[in-house]
Structure 1
Amino acid sequence: FAACHLLMKLVIRRYRPSDKDTVLTLFSNGVVEQISPCFYNAMTSPLYLSITLGLCAAGYLLGSILGAVVLVGGWVALIYFSCHKLYTHYIREKIRTDMQDIPGNFMTRPDDCFFVAEAEVSGRSQVIGTVAIVAKQSGTERYGELFRMSVSSSCRRAGLASRMTQAVIDFCRERGLPKVVLQTTSTQAAAVALYEKLGFLRIFSQPTLSFPYWMIILNYLPLRYVYYFPLM
């Protein structure tokens, strides 16, 4: 009931400068939430399970249970540190660059936009979600690329991400862009399920040559999706 009530009062509108602090908080919190899934995804991969078992065996063969615990503990701490570094570095970099000037980077051209979702929560109006669209061109083909999808953790499972994605699709359709492209990662299972449900097709799931090898070792892969508008 609460989810339905929230959606009834939801407004998706253009970003305003007064939204900045809330938008940056939503963005940062949303990225930080990916640390644990990334860590779990890495540690449950066959490679990392094998390494963990190997370290346990090495400690046992050395005749020290404490040694086995220290080896495994150090290994687990290293992987968690790597996951944490990956996401916190991303937050710092984006806040330093495009999120520092949202109007300048996402709203200066007519085919670009930064949307926020606003709803009444606990009796007052709050920004509870964000999404951006940037028009790009590859050769002679123009398309829209979706960025900065974030939803407040207190407002999940209410269909908000679906509504915001649909707002981006409608925005691109109105401007004659033939497709919408986005990139997510292999650790974001909920996002992947949402985009596929809405009709996005995966076009690749392999790291590029510039993709850092240590991210691949974390079992962290970029997934690129495209939504094609039906031919009329």
Structure 2
Amino acid sequence: MANKSDLQFSIREYRPSDQHVVMSLFHDGIFEHIYPAFFKAISNPDHVGIALSISMAGYVLGGSSYFQALLFGSIWAGFVYYCCHDIYDRYMMGRLSADMAYIQASYLENPDNGFWVAEVDVNGQAKVVGMVAVMGKREEDDGERFDDLNGAVSGTEFAQDAVNRSYAQMSHIIVAFSWRRKNLGSRLTRRALDFCKERGFSRLIMDVSSPQTAAISMCQKLGFVQTGSLCNTHANRWFYKLARITVKRMERSI
């Protein structure tokens, strides 16, 4: 088998025959954030204090029972994990019943939208190992830009939006785990940026959850800046608070 470092990757438009592997990538790419989110949340000093207090209550109520102390602490940790799981599960199910259910109609049949996959040739067979989607928003849709943002910051680099307020939103940027660290995420993002430039959009935005540190770092390296934090989400807001997850809006002018 060829060394992965010697393989050549290409980025092409989505085809209906890609549906199965794209859905698998989407599922794995969303659910992989659950454990990082959980470990980050449970190690928060507030949660550590709550876990210790609950464990102590179990110890006392159980008549100095270490087992009950462990049980009470585990129940709290399990609830935090449930919050993290619910957030990403609801997001995935929402997209599976919306744009991801009709990729052809949602993206390829609209000239302002696009869906691409990263492909590599492995032993003579083409293998899809990444993807990215872009959905354009023309001026009439732009009034919603800050409706769901909390503490948004508007920099001078976005002043041109007063003239051209159309923008595009990038989503579903996923690279299969075993094919990461090969600059594929950056190449997919640049393809999205090129598309936005061709279509005349003034900026590209991307919403990223706080556990996605690699995606945030990649965006920053490519010139994206954080302009706000989402407060209206698909999941219970108390779950977001307990899971300590925030959704950052990253933008880059074009």
State TM-score, norm by structure 2. 0.83
Match of 2:217 in 1: 193
- Contact (CA 8 Å) 2:87, 2:235: kept in 1 or not? no
> In the alignment, does 2:177 pair up with 1:176?
no
Which structure 2 residues correspond to residues 82-101 of structure 1 after superposition, within 5 A? 82-101=83-102
Aligned-partner SS, 1:132: strand
Distance across 1 between alignment mates of 2:183 and 2:65: 52
Aligned-partner SS, 1:165: helix
> In the alignment, does 2:178 pair up with 1:154?
yes
Counterpart of 1:163 in structure 2: which amino acid?
Answer: R
* More displaced stretch, 148-157 vs 121-130: 121-130
Which structure 2 residues correspond to residues 69-218 of structure 1 after superposition, within 5 A? 69-137=70-138, 138-139=142-143, 141-208=165-232, 212-213=236-237, 214-218=239-243
Once the two structures are TM-superposed, the CA of residue 177 in structure 1 deviates from its matched residue by: 1.0
Distance across 1 between alignment mates of 2:233 and 2:114: 30
Distance across 2 between alignment mates of 1:129 and 1:208: 29
Counterpart of 1:28 in structure 2: which amino acid?
Answer: H
* Structure 1 residues not aligned, in runs of 5+: none
Aligned-partner SS, 1:227: strand
Aligned-partner SS, 1:125: strand
Structure 1 residues 37, 209: CA separation in 2 closer, same or farther (over 3 Å shift)? closer
- Contact (CA 8 Å) 1:207, 1:216: kept in 2 or not? no
Distance across 2 between alignment mates of 1:2 and 1:107: 34
Match of 2:154 in 1: none
Tell me the alpha carbon deviations over residues 127-180 of structure 1, each in whole angstroms, 9 at most, x when there is no partner: 111101111131461011101111111101111001000110111112211110
Distance across 2 between alignment mates of 1:210 and 1:98: 15
Q: What percentage of residue pairs aligned between the two structures are identical?
A: 33
Distance across 1 between alignment mates of 2:122 and 2:90: 31
Aligned-partner SS, 2:18: helix
- Contact (CA 8 Å) 2:86, 2:235: kept in 1 or not? no
Aligned-partner SS, 1:134: strand
Distance across 1 between alignment mates of 2:86 and 2:122: 33
Once the two structures are TM-superposed, the CA of residue 197 in structure 1 deviates from its matched residue by: 0.9
Once the two structures are TM-superposed, the CA of residue 43 in structure 1 deviates from its matched residue by: 0.4
Counterpart of 1:91 in structure 2: which amino acid?
Answer: M
Distance across 1 between alignment mates of 2:86 and 2:137: 30
- Contact (CA 8 Å) 1:201, 1:226: kept in 2 or not? yes
Once the two structures are TM-superposed, the CA of residue 39 in structure 1 deviates from its matched residue by: 0.7
Tell me the alpha carbon deviations over residues 21-60 of structure 1, each in whole angstroms, 9 at most, x when there is no partner: 0100000011110110111121011221111111222233
- Contact (CA 8 Å) 1:3, 1:158: kept in 2 or not? no
In the alignment of these two chains, the number of paired residues is 227
Structure 1 residues 109, 209: CA separation in 2 closer, same or farther (over 3 Å shift)? closer
Distance across 1 between alignment mates of 2:127 and 2:18: 9
State TM-score, norm by structure 1. 0.91
Match of 2:151 in 1: none
- Contact (CA 8 Å) 1:3, 1:157: kept in 2 or not? no
Distance across 1 between alignment mates of 2:20 and 2:128: 10
Distance across 1 between alignment mates of 2:171 and 2:102: 15
Distance across 2 between alignment mates of 1:124 and 1:184: 33
* More displaced stretch, 58-67 vs 151-160: 58-67
Distance across 2 between alignment mates of 1:169 and 1:152: 21
Counterpart of 2:178 in structure 1: which amino acid?
Answer: S
Aligned-partner SS, 1:110: coil
* Structure 2 residues not aligned, in runs of 5+: 144-163
Once the two structures are TM-superposed, the CA of residue 221 in structure 1 deviates from its matched residue by: 0.8
Aligned-partner SS, 1:202: strand
